[in-house]
Amino acid sequence: MPQSGAPCGVVDTFDFPLNPPHAENIIRFSDYGVYRAHYGGYHTGEDWWGPGGRTFGLPVHSIGHGTVTYAAPLGWGTDKGTVVVRHVLADGGTILSFYGHLDPPSVVLRAGDCVVRGQRVGRVGRPSSPPHLHFEIRTHTPNGPGPGYWPSEPTQAGWLPPSFYIWETRLAVAPGVQWTRPFAAQGSRGVGMLDEDTFVALEGDQWVGIGVPDGRVRWRQASSIRATEAIVDPSGSMVYSANRYTGRVEALRFAGSRGGSAITAPDSPLVPLWETRLGAASSVTLMPLPGGGVAVSSRKGMIGLSAAGELLWEHDSSVKAFDWLLHEDRLIFSTIGEGVSLWTADGSEPVALPTPGAGYLVRVKDQIWVYGDQGIYRLDPETFSADLLYALPGGRLEQGSMAALPGGGVLLIHADAHDKRLIALNADGTLGWQRSYGRSAHGHEHRLVVLDGRPFLVSHQRAAASNKVAVSLVDVDRARLTQLFVTTGRNPRPDDTWVSATTDGRLLLSVGSGLGIGSIVALDVQSALEAVLQAVSSD
């Protein structure tokens, strides 16, 4: 609606310019700020292409409500049509979106026209280069197309990284989002909670302590081994890390002090204690040992190390750890490789358990339940004998997940060659319900997380050029999913996206873009749920 200073309304959020709102199946080169000698400058925007390079004639949409300040069918001459739109933000500030290389007959807007989010501003034309959209976000030049290249770094001259700006704005206004913060996406990994207020993450080759209440970085320090994997010891006083490429393993002591719910730490709070080398292993899994220490699993074998770095045991096997949990004075873990097996370890070499199969492990009250590719088993923690509770058709464990329900029983995702199913089992192991949810929740990778007694499904879908993450509440009583949150990144990398639960009922979601930068999002699931219910009731 028209407002003072904003004749065409105020921005509520932004969409992407091709295939809005999420730009699914759209290819965008990460070439903002790239120097090209042929043009004698740095690229001031991003180049966008359609699926399979089929771009000519693709509709181009306004990213948000705004006023057209410039439109010319041949604004760039042989490089075709251009449109500029001014957007007024909620705080009164303004930004400009620029759309270049448009097909001249499709540019029918004129300066002074109002556009709404998602409205077509033109179609991709045929410039002197192959058809593509040149897209910019900037704070200057409302009445002309601009140069497309600039002699210095464009961010310092009033341009902004387009995709990341839209992405951050969309995240900030999403229901339930309490804060977001950028991070170096490539090589990032969530590690865990040091205490109720501080989350530890790896960003590239650095450790970062993030304050959960506000998202601020409390401390940052370099990882001496450039860790790619890490876990926090259950005591919260130790961190174990490894580099999968070099095989280096390190233990660090947390030197911060805890006072009440706050945590204080020196500039370098993780103090290295010891290091060992395993040799390059391509993949490494770290598991805490009861009473301190760590088990290190790779395809070259497995070793147990004490908290002081002493070798406790070695196990020569080609199997690799798949899932684990601590039960009293034992580490129980499953492995994949030569079949799927279940093991137990303490201070001595692991012992294989006589169970018919294993995979995911959860503790259900005082029991241990095991989800293998053939069914759900209940493990006796004293004798380690296993009872088959519910048989399943052969599945793909790596696409599954399982979580314990507060009242007993489990919720699990089972995937086979034909279907993905959400299955609820009662406390006695009988079937509560099951349903296929392929049409209800998008995604190729899924994880179940229980917060404050309620299960949530986190789905992650990677396509050639997009990265979609969604969070849905699972209504166990009615076998129904309610989507609470969805966001997308661009040009994803496999390890850039992860989820971790905090101790105060929030989800920390990392959504990578594959462009060297992404976002960590703190999602209050209760606030998100209330917003969804309010929207449904108002409809």
pLDDT tens digits for range 281-340: 667 899 999 889 999 988 778 899 999 999 999 887 667 788 999 988 889 998 876 656
Q: For 63-67, 146-150, 259-263, which range has the lowest pLDDT when averaged over its residues?
A: 259-263
Q: Which CATH homologous superfamily contains domain 27-163? A: Glucose Permease (Domain IIA) (2.70.70.10)
Q: Is 39 helix (H, G, I), strand (E, B) or coil?
A: coil
Report the pLDDT value the prediction gives residue 33, as an integer from 0 to 100: 92
Residue 260 pLDDT > 60: no
Residue 442 pLDDT > 50: no
Task: Give the burial class of 163: count Cβ atoms within 10 A of its Cβ; 0-12 exposed, 13-18 middle, 19 or more buried.
Answer: buried
Beta strand pairing call for 431-436 and 401-404? unpaired
Question: 34-69 pLDDT, tens per residue?
Answer: 999 999 999 999 999 988 778 999 999 999 999 999
**Where in 21-116 does DSSP place strands (E)?**
27-28, 35-36, 41-43, 46-49, 59-61, 66-72, 81-88, 94-102, 114-115
Instruction: Return the percentage of the chain with pLDDT > 90, whole number.
Output: 49
Report the pLDDT value the prediction gives residue 158, as an integer from 0 to 100: 96
* Peptide bond connecting 182 to the previous residue in cis, omega within 30 degrees of 0: no
Region 80-108: mean pLDDT is 96
Question: 481-493 pLDDT, tens per residue?
Answer: 999 998 876 655 5
Residue 208 pLDDT > 80: yes
Beta strand pairing call for 94-102 and 133-138? antiparallel
What integer best gives the mean pLDDT of the chain?
A: 86
Residue 262 pLDDT > 50: no
Q: The whole model's pTM is what?
A: 0.82
- Compute and round to an integer the Cα radius of gyration of the chain: 26
Question: 408-427 pLDDT, tens per residue?
Answer: 999 999 987 778 889 999 99
Band the pLDDT of 261: cuts 50, 70, 90.
very low
What length does the chain have? 539
191 backbone dihedrals φ, ψ, rounded to 5°: -105, -55
Band the pLDDT of 512: cuts 50, 70, 90.
low
Q: Is 486 helix (H, G, I), strand (E, B) or coil?
A: strand
- Of 126, 164, 144, the closest CA to residue 45 belongs to 164
Distance CA 460, CA 527 (A): 22
Residue spans of the domains in the chain: they are 27-163
Q: Which residues pair with 211 in a beta bridge?
A: 198
Distance CA 185, CA 205 (A): 11
Beta strand pairing call for 445-451 and 320-327? unpaired
Question: 358-371 pLDDT, tens per residue?
Answer: 789 999 988 899 99
- Of 192, 139, 34, 96, the closest CA to residue 515 belongs to 34
And the tokens for 369?
Answer: 């339940």
And the tokens for 536?
Answer: 């449904």
Distance CA 418, CA 424 (A): 19
169 backbone dihedrals φ, ψ, rounded to 5°: -65, -40
Residues 6+ apart with CB under 8 A from 20: 61, 63, 117, 118
Q: Is 436 helix (H, G, I), strand (E, B) or coil?
A: strand
Apex CA 171: angle with CA 165 and CA 174, to 5°?
Answer: 145
Question: 384-406 pLDDT, tens per residue?
Answer: 788 889 998 877 888 889 999 98
In which element (H, E) is residue 173 found?
helix 162-173
DSSP string spanning 239-263?
EEEE-TTT-EEEEEEE--EEETTEE
Query: Burial letters for 457-489: b for 16+ Cβ neighbours within 10 Å, e otherwise?
Result: bbbbbbeebbbbbbbbbbebeeeebbbbbbbbb
Q: For 123-127, 512-516, 528-532, which range has the lowest pLDDT when averaged over its residues?
A: 512-516
DSSP 6: B
Report the pLDDT value the prediction gives residue 459, as an integer from 0 to 100: 86
